[in-house]
Amino acid sequence: MMLRVSSAILTRLHREADAAHPQECCGIMLGEGDRVTALWPARNVHAAPATHFEIDPQALVDAHRNARQGGPQVIGYYHSHPVGQPAPSATDSAMAAGDGMVWAIVGAGRVAFWRDGGAGFEALPYLVCDS
C-alpha cells in the first residue's frame, strides 16, 4: 500500500512537533482508505511527555464519534520524537496494538509512516499528493 498525504499535512506534522518541543506531540490521523485528509491534535497526557506519549482519551472518543457521524475515519495516530529518529522506539512497539493502524512519527526533521501490523511495525511508503 502506498499512503497518500498532502504537503499541508506534512507541514502541520512538523509544526506540531516544533511547537511541542521538547515534549512529544501526539494526535490522530483521519482519512479515507489510503489517504490522510486531516489531523486531530490531542493533548499528550503521559506523565513523562518528553520521552513518551499518550493521546488524551477524550480526543480518541471525539474523533471516533465524529467518524461515526459521517466525518473522516480514524486511520492512525501520530507523535514526535524530539531527540530521536522517525522510527518506532521500543516503547512504541510495546504500546502497539497490532491493529493495522498507520502511525506517523516526526523526528530529526523528517516524517515517516509505519503500519502497526501483527508482526510489528512495517515502513509504509508515501506519496505527496496535493491534488
What the chain holds in terms of domains, given with CATH numbers, is 3-128 (3.40.140.10)
Cα–Cα distance for residue pair 125/115, rounded to 1 Å:
10
Phi–psi pair at 67, nearest 5 degrees? -65, -45
Active site residues: 24
Cα–Cα distance for residue pair 6/73, rounded to 1 Å:
17
What is the residue-level pLDDT of the chain in tens, covering all 131 positions? 899 999 999 999 999 999 999 999 999 999 999 999 999 999 999 999 999 999 999 999 999 999 999 999 999 999 999 999 999 999 999 999 999 999 999 999 999 999 999 889 999 999 999 86
Cα–Cα distance for residue pair 41/9, rounded to 1 Å:
12
pLDDT of 131 = 62
Cβ atoms < 10 Å from Cβ of 69: 7
Half-sphere exposure of 5 (CA within 13 A, CB side): 26
